[in-house]
Amino acid sequence: MKMKELEAATGIGRETIRYYIREGLLPEPVRPKRNVAAYGKEHVRRLNLIRRLQQERHLPLSVIKTIVTSEVVEAPSQGFERLIGLEVALGPLLAEGRNLSPMRIEDLSEKTGLDLKEIRAFAASGFIFIDHREDGDWLNQRNVRLIELIAEARRLGFTPDIGYTVDSYDIYVQMTDWMARRAVVGFYSRLGDKLDQPEAAKLGVEGIRFLNEVLPIMVIERIVRMVEQISASGGELPSIEGDE
């Protein structure tokens, strides 16, 4: 179908559709000829889903993009939609029994001694996420703790002077993005049509707590064994796949 037909089928204007394509929320159209674009059922389905997520769940485009571009949307429609907005239910459960609170980035900068520009650089790298509100830029309790940990690491000696810059934390962003995506997609795909939202939230929190304990132990075990291997080899460092 042509752009005009796609507009008619979804009630969404062409400028918005083009914006969604540029931002990766919609796939590129088929282009049989120069200046000719053909749209299909997938474009209609995604546009309708985007509009529904905006109107019914009031989700930001960043979250919607993750939903519509992941394999989660291939799960049974009814089950998947029952869990849309699950993050709202997860928040209070994860905060139970903890003294956690959001903080303005200016206040956190003053508290930790990290320069405001550097905190924003950590956000630009994906290490933390900034919530943009009408009254300023905030970090939620988890992101506040991440910046506090960076400040603590600096005081212990892991400073930019010896190479521990914002860029040096990119590997953690890549690793956690991959793990989080696999965990979330697996959860939705397996349970999307089996649990209602309260049950899914409780199970999801238990899964997060499980990972929170298992992953650090696994990392520490591997680090210790790798250090042992380096000592046994007389100081030969292992190769890192992908490094030059």
The residue segments making up the domain with residue 112 are 100-164
Q: Give me the pLDDT at residue 89, please.
A: 61
Residue 212 lies in a domain: no
CATH of the domain at 136: 1.10.1660.10
Instruction: Give backbone dihedrals phi and psi of 16, rounded to 5 degrees, phi first.
Output: -65, -40
pLDDT digits (tens, 9 = 90+) for 87-106: 666 666 666 555 558 899 99
Other C-beta atoms lying within 10 Å of the C-beta of residue 237: 9
Rounded Cα distance between 66 and 64, Å, is: 5
> Is residue 210 assigned to a domain?
no
Question: Is 33 strand, coil or helix?
Answer: strand
Q: State how many domains the chain has.
A: 2
- Determine, yes or no, domain membership for 241: no
Q: Are 126 and 64 part of one and the same domain?
A: no
In a domain, 232, yes or no: no
Looking up tokens 């860029």 gives 167
Domain boundary among 49, 69, 89: 69
CA distance 64 to 96: 27
- Assess if residue 62 is contained within a domain: yes
DSSP string of 198-239, one letter each residue: HHHHHHHHHHHHHHHHHHHHHHHHHHHHHHHHHHHTTSPPPP
pTM exceeds 0.85 for this model: no
The CA-based angle 132-137-141, given to 5 degrees, is 95
Beta bridge partners of 138: 104, 131
Last residue in a domain, options 69, 85, 110: 69
Q: Are 95 and 141 in contact (CB under 8 A)?
A: yes
Which among 142, 164, 186 is the end of a domain? 164
First-to-last C-alpha distance (Å) of the chain: 47
How does pLDDT run across 168-185, given as a tens digit for each residue?
999 999 999 888 888 887
Contact in structure between 204 and 187 (CB atoms under 8 Å): yes
pLDDT of residue 241: 64
Contact 125, 170 (CB under 8 A): yes
Low-confidence stretches of the chain (pLDDT < 70) are 57-58, 70-100, 192-193, 241-244
**pLDDT value of residue 75:** 43
